[in-house]
Amino acid sequence: MADIEALTEPSRKNGCTLPPHITQVIAWVVLVVFGVLHFTSLVPALHNSWQPAAHAVPGVVIFVHLIVHVATLTIDPCDDKVLQAKLPKVKLNRAKHSFVIEDGHCNFCQVDVGYYKDSKIRHCRECNKCVKNFDHHCPWLNTCIGAKNYRWYIATLATALVALVLVTGIAVMEFITYFTDKNDRNILQPYRDLNATLHYKDADFQILYQRVPHEAWLAMLAVLFTLGVVAVGLITHLLGFHIYLIYHKLTTYAFITAERPKKSQTKLNKNTTSCYIKKGKVNPSNNKDSSFNNTVQGTCLPSFNFLRFIKRGNRSNVEIQPTSASAIPAENNNNSKLVMDNELNGTTLFMVDETAMRFTANSSFQNSVL
């Protein structure tokens, strides 16, 4: 227990634990607004014979969504070993521990959780607990998604998508038929209730069962289906992504960690050049002048990183002339370490790691990084 500095805040039990996340509040507001407007504003405008189905079908879907949504929120995805131990979460001495889980032991939960590749347990810093088969922390539900609630999470996405498609589809249909049905008066009930002698502007359209001007009703429809289309697009993308993960037997965490090195390498390749250094001047690498013999050679040197490690007082002595890696002579293209330029005031300038291409300032330059 030597690494305990102080007890942290208690871990979150589930998505109902306070305080709520702002995106969780937004999700509930959208759910309530769409549900209330559907039953009090959209359904009353439909043909009387269509209204029972418009009440029943979306109503059942929304009801099922509420059940799976609440189930996802209330299930505690914490690993059983951590729940049984009931130990306080601690802050760690980062000088001693490089990782949260080391040798199968969680240094936060103080429990042996097993090796990640075998148990797939990860410690969520948002909830401050270890989660079995950790997939991701969902801010919209304000809880971790893992082995215990992943199926409920997928059901939440699927039912939300179906409900949004139904409500958004009805809103789009009513907006269009407001203009196309004003003469035939076969679809919208407010038009059907008019006498043949009355103008379509006399139709009684409602929001929250209260009569409103036609412009207000149309504006409500426009906002509703615009938000609906955006929400349908986002949830379709998210559900499709998880279907892809299920098919390939991956988790979101595993997918992201696998993609991160690829993105880093791609970014590195786009921002690197090759060069020589001589007397504080960076020259094109196709220069084979014999006076370069005492100059340390390096490949793939990012010019913007080079500038960051130049001592302020010597910045005027340095000139950058980047060149492509293809211009380096074959005998010099060896990814060697760039250690020192003896002719730049006799000081070590910087060092390049040959594999990860990380640039580290020498101790004499650490206080002069731009």
Active site residues: 138
The secondary structure of residue 292, as a DSSP letter, is G
CA-based torsion, 171, 175, 178, 180: positive or negative: negative
> 47 to each of 183, 205, 267, how far by Cα in Å?
15, 13, 57
Residues with Cβ within 8 Å of residue 366, at least 6 apart in sequence: none
Residue with tokens 């809880």: 143
Q: How far is CA 27 from CA 16, 41, 138, 169, 223, in A?
A: 14, 21, 12, 20, 16
Of the chain, the end-to-end C-alpha distance in Å amounts to 40
* Peptide bond connecting 190 to the previous residue in cis, omega within 30 degrees of 0: no
Interacting residues of 42 by C-beta distance below 8 A, sequence separation 6+: 54, 167, 170, 171, 174, 224
